[in-house]
Structure 1
Amino acid sequence: MDQPFGRRKMIAALILAIVAMPVFFLSVRAFSAWRAGYSWAEMDWDGKGRTTIVDFLKAAEIGKRPILVNGQQCFEYYLHRDRLVVKTVCPR
């Protein structure tokens, strides 16, 4: 009689682990993106005119540095992993 109950516990624990892992990953990713300190408008990484949740989550892997473009102070947003430029923003 104990075996079916034990099997149910094991299945429930497995389902909980499968659900908990992506929830934990997304939570850490969202916290990292929030800590990046970008405004919602800044996070429109591909210039489509609006910021999505995916853009928000990408903020965790994007850095910001000041640069000079034609003598004008601008900001360059780049991927941390390979330093590729995502976008450059200059004041108008």
Structure 2
Amino acid sequence: MLRVLLVIVGVLLAPPAVFFGGVALGVLEHGYGWSEMDWNSDGWTSFGEVMDAADIGKRGAVVCQRICTEYFAYKDGLPVRTDCPPP
């Protein structure tokens, strides 16, 4: 009976685990690290921020004659955040 229960639990939990694992791996292939995914700048990257990063890309941008990093939404190309080095 315990074996049947474990199989049922495993079958129910496998699809969400595969989905979220695939999203996490896809996020890591975007070319930026965990600290860059800290969208609210609170010092740590939450699971929600990692999920948000699945829809955000990274590109170079020039702002006030400085080379910066711009993070943009894939859905419309609008910037989400721009990080520039200190002058």
Q: TM-score interval w.r.t. the shorter chain?
A: 0.7 to 0.9
How many residue pairs were aligned?
A: 82
More helix by share: 1
Q: Of residues 26, 40, 64 in structure 2, which corresponds to 1:32?
A: 26
Runs of 4+ in 1 over 3 A off after TM superposition: 15-18
Q: In structure 1, how many angstroms separate the alpha carbons of the residues matched to 2:75 and 2:44?
A: 25
- Which of 1 and 2 has greater Rg? 1
Partner of 1:45: 39
2:63 pairs, out of 65, 69, 83, with 69
Ranges in structure 1 where 5+ consecutive residues have no aligned partner: 1-7
Match of 1:59? 53
How much is the aligned-residue C-alpha RMSD, in angstroms? Answer: 2.3
Alignment match, 1:90: 84
Query: Identity over aligned residues, as a percent?
Result: 36
Instruction: Give the TM-score taking structure 1 as reference length.
Output: 0.71
TM-score (normalised: structure 2):
0.74
